[in-house]
Amino acid sequence: MVPPSPLICFRDGSLFGPEGSGSIDRMHIAQVGYDYLPDDNYNLAHTFSKEGDKFGYLYDFGDKWFHDIEVEHICSPEESNGEVVIIDGEGMCPGENMDGSWKYVENTKILNDGTPSEKLAKKREILQSPNYNDYKKSASQFNHKSFDLPLAISRLSAALGSSASVSSGAKVYHMPIMSGAEEIARGMHVKRGQKVEQKWDEENGGFWQETTSSTRDRRAEAVCAACGNSAGMQLKACSGCKQVLYCSRQHQYEHWKNGHKQQCSRKFSDKEKSAGSK
């Protein structure tokens, strides 16, 4: 008689990712999953219902920066205002495209224990990465152990005030193999309301390319440009540029003072010029 086998339950968690992504990282998708639910159809509230729930976030399929995230507290609708807020952090971000998490230990060792010249050289290398284009301090002032809260807040503000990313036109680096290649790349996969932006890398001879949207986000996926509140149909558009949305007059006023006045004026004048030329 064969003894009964114990029952074993195997569960495979759900994976969420951008639908129709044109990112170069998709070449590594076989190593990080096999199928993804479209992430723009779900909010965190759809998948995590109680405190203590955990999930993982993977940034960059190639460099593989894994994050373990735990839901610590869920506010009631009465006490929550829906704002996206950075409370605190630890350390500076690793440099983009510097061989990922497996090289980070080596880079950190140099920053901690290297000679002064080695430390400075490594800091300069990090600050040349694409994710430090907006870093205004010198290499000697860079401290990988400190967290720059004002910089993080300014980056969050810029992200909330911008249009949603175009999945099919993710930022990629091109190295032209023939004259005029940038114009060929510029005209590919562009839909109405989209444009291709290119930035040349004079030192290496290539260029960065990204498709951006000039149209307003759908209300189902839009957020308040000032606070990140996803209030859905309650969001109201800026009366000038018609591009950004707000959850309240107070947040529109604050965002106007903090920089949207200049952005809106340019967009509004561009629209007037375009209308006048027709």
Gap between the Cα atoms of 227 and 222, Å rounded? 12
C-alpha dihedral, 117 to 123 to 129 to 133, nearest 10°: -120
In the DSSP assignment, the letter for residue 131 is: G
pLDDT band at 40 (very low <50, low <70, confident <90, very high): confident
Identify whether the C-beta of residue 142 lies closer than 8 Å to the C-beta of residue 125.
no
Gap between the Cα atoms of 70 and 77, Å rounded? 20
- At residue 276, the pLDDT reads 40
Q: What is the mean pLDDT of the chain?
A: 79
Alpha-helical regions (H) of 114-191: 116-127, 149-160, 181-186
Pairing of strands 37-38, 16-17: parallel
Proportion of the chain above pLDDT 90, given as a percent: 20
- At residue 120, the pLDDT reads 96
More confident call, 26 vs 233: 26
Q: Domain spans of the chain?
A: 15-74, 164-215
Q: What angle do CA 179, 184, 187 make, to 5 degrees?
A: 155
Identify whether the C-beta of residue 107 lies closer than 8 Å to the C-beta of residue 97.
no
* Cα–Cα separations (whole angstroms), residue 192 to 215, 223, 240: 9, 22, 21
Identify whether the C-beta of residue 195 lies closer than 8 Å to the C-beta of residue 212.
yes
Single pTM value for the model: 0.68
- At residue 274, the pLDDT reads 47
More confident call, 50 vs 6: 50
Flag whether pLDDT at 81 surpasses 50. yes
- At residue 180, the pLDDT reads 60
Task: Tell me the mean pLDDT in the region 78-104.
Answer: 88
C-alpha dihedral, 142 to 144 to 148 to 149, nearest 10°: 180
- At residue 110, the pLDDT reads 96
Gap between the Cα atoms of 92 and 277, Å rounded? 47
- At residue 184, the pLDDT reads 55
- At residue 266, the pLDDT reads 57
DSSP 90-130: -SPPPPTTSSHHHHHHHHHHHHHHS-HHHHHHHHHHHHTSG
Q: Which residues does residue 212 pair with via DSSP β-bridges, in sequence order?
A: 195
Gap between the Cα atoms of 82 and 104, Å rounded? 35
Q: What angle do CA 89, 229, 131 make, to 5 degrees?
A: 40
Q: Which residues does residue 206 pair with via DSSP β-bridges, in sequence order?
A: 201
Identify whether the C-beta of residue 203 lies closer than 8 Å to the C-beta of residue 237.
no
Gap between the Cα atoms of 244 and 164, Å rounded? 11
Proportion of the chain above pLDDT 70, given as a percent: 75
Flag whether pLDDT at 86 surpasses 80. yes
Identify whether the C-beta of residue 43 lies closer than 8 Å to the C-beta of residue 230.
yes
Q: What tens digit of pLDDT does each residue of 162-219 get?
A: 766 666 556 666 666 556 655 655 555 666 767 777 777 766 667 777 777 766 777 7
Please give the structure tokens belonging to residue 165.
Answer: 């990313």
Task: Tell me the mean pLDDT in the region 8-23.
Answer: 73
Please give the structure tokens belonging to residue 164.
Answer: 């949603």
The region, left, alpha or beta by phi > 0 then psi within -120 to 50, assigned to residue 20 is: left
